A = this chain, B = another copy of it.
Amino acid sequence: MGSNQESTNDTNRLETFADGVMAIAITLLILEVKVPDVEGGKLATALAHLWPSYVSFVVSFLTIGIIWVNHHHMFKLIARTNHAFLMLNVVFLMTICVLPWPTALVATFIRDPDGRVVATAVYGGVMTAIAIMFNVVWRYASTNHRLLGPRFSDQALAKMNRNYLAGPIVYGTATIVAFGEPYVSLGIFAALAVYWLLPGTGPRAQVLTERS
């Protein structure tokens, strides 16, 4: 059944749907930052006390933003879709949609020595799941050039495979760290978000360099 199920030039609506889901997930993050229920005189203190909400909002926002940019770049290389690919993307988007929830968990429990480990581990687990699904989506599309356009050499693909694999590995490692040192774990997630923001970092840069 495989190849005769494929349809050409059809990634457009998938990209629109994925963009919509990512745009909504990223925007819903702010709903987890609450208005303090205090008297006005204590507002400044209460707002300062909310810092874990701000930090986790920023880290999750930048992470989804970076995923969006990478998804965007991946889809420049993909020329067709099929049923399995659409479904894999649905599962990938599901992992992204979950993110506002562990983000709120971390913001709520970061100051509690007992809750901190669990919240951070759940956060890391979701981040790792996103990174794994990103790789699954990419591998499905690229294996044997299944859904790719005609442009890329096997060497370029091998390089991309290796680069994309960095995601699950570093996120998975940071998640394991969470069980011992939750603050260090969160620091890694934050550092990765900032690092991938920088120009010329990440798998994508190499890919485009490859092409030009």
Contacts and interface: CB of A to CB of B under 8 A. Distances in A.
Given A83-B200, A90-B62, A113-B40, A23 B26 contact: no
B66 A90 contact: yes
A112 B40 CA distance: 6
A155 B40 CA distance: 49
Interface string A1-28: 1001111001001111101111111111
Q: How many copies does the complex hold?
A: 4
Contacts of A84: 199
B25 A101 contact: no
B39 A115 contact: yes
Contact of A25 (B25, B27, B104, B202): B27
A153 interface: no
A2 to B, nearest CB: 8
Contacts of A209: 1, 4-5
Interface stretch (A29-37, A142-150, A156-164, A165-173): A29-37
Contacts of A25: 27, 30
Interface in A77-100: 82-84, 86-87, 90-91, 93-94, 97-98, 100
Interface of A: 1, 4-7, 10, 13-17, 19-31, 33, 35, 39-41, 43-44, 47, 57-58, 61-62, 65-66, 68-69, 72, 76, 82-84, 86-87, 90-91, 93-94, 97-98, 100-101, 104-105, 108-109, 112-116, 118-119, 122, 197-200, 202, 204-205, 208-209, 212
29 contacts: A1-B205, A4-B209, A5-B209, A5-B212, A6-B212, A7-B208, A13-B72, A16-B16, A17-B68, A20-B20, A27-B28, A30-B97, A30-B98, A39-B112, A40-B115, A40-B116, A40-B118, A41-B115, A43-B112, A43-B114, A58-B94, A62-B91, A65-B91, A65-B93, A66-B90, A68-B90, A69-B90, A72-B86, A90-B197
